[in-house]
Amino acid sequence: MTTTSHIECEPLSGALGAELHGVDLMHPPDEATIAAIRRAWLEYGVVFFRGQELPERAFLDFAKRFGAVVEYPFMKGLDAFPEIIPVVKLEHERVNFGGVWHSDTSYLEMPPMGTMLMAREVPPRGGDTLFANMYLAFETLSTGMQRMLEGLVARNSSAKADVSRTREDQVRARARDDARPDYTAEHPVVRTHPETGRKALYVNAGHTICFRDMTEAESAPLLSYLFAHQVRPEFTCRFRWRPGSIAFWDNRCTQHNPVNDYHGYRRAMLRITLAGDRPR
Q: In which domain, by residue range, is 136 found? A: 2-274
Residue at 85 is within a domain: yes
CATH number of the domain that residue 139 is part of: 3.60.130.10
Select from 112, 125, 61 the least CA-distant residue to 259.
Answer: 125
Q: Is 101 a domain residue?
A: yes
Domain count, the chain: 1
Residue 225, φ and ψ in degrees, nearest 5: -65, -45
pLDDT band at 102 (very low <50, low <70, confident <90, very high): very high
Q: Is residue 142, in this structure, part of any structural domain at all?
A: yes
Q: How confident is the model at residue 101 (pLDDT cuts 50, 70, 90)?
A: very high
279 domain residue, yes or no = no
Calculate ∠ Cα 50-53-54, nearest 5°: 115
Percent of the chain with pLDDT over 90: 85
What is the CA angle 245-233-39, rounded to 5?
A: 50
Residue 280 lies in a domain: no
* Whole-number Cα distances in Å, 235 to 16, 119, 135, 151, 171: 7, 24, 9, 24, 32
Q: What percent of the chain is modeled with pLDDT above 70?
A: 91
Backbone angles phi, psi at 243, to 5 degrees: -55, 135
How much is the pLDDT for 165? Answer: 61
β-strands 7-11, 199-201 pairing = unpaired
- What does the DSSP 8-state code read for residue 264? T
For residue 19, what is the enclosing H or E element? strand 18-21
CA torsion, points 102, 196, 62, 32, in degrees to nearest 10?
Answer: 160
Beta bridge partners of 157: 184
Kindly state whether residue 81 falls inside one of the protein's structural domains.
yes
Q: How confident is the model at residue 160 (pLDDT cuts 50, 70, 90)?
A: confident
Instruction: Name the pairing type of β-strands 114-121 and 85-89.
Output: unpaired
- On the question of pLDDT at 74 being above 90, the answer is no
The confidence score (pLDDT) of residue 164 equals 59
Query: Distance between CA 184 and CA 109 in Å, rounded?
Result: 8
Give the pLDDT band of residue 6 (cuts 50, 70, 90).
Answer: confident
Residue 196 lies in a domain: yes
Check residue 163 and give its pLDDT. 65
What proportions of the chain, in percent to the nearest 5, are helix, strand and coil?
25, 30, 45
Q: Is residue 243 part of a domain?
A: yes
Q: Pick from 51, 48, 52: which is nearest to 20 by CA?
A: 48
Per-residue pLDDT of 8-44, as tens digits, reads: 999 999 999 999 999 999 999 999 999 999 999 999 9
pLDDT tens-digit map of 173-227: 666 666 677 899 999 999 999 999 999 999 999 999 999 999 999 999 999 999 9
Could you list the active site residues? 102, 104, 256, 271
Average pLDDT of every residue of the chain: 93
Rounded average pLDDT over 93-106: 91
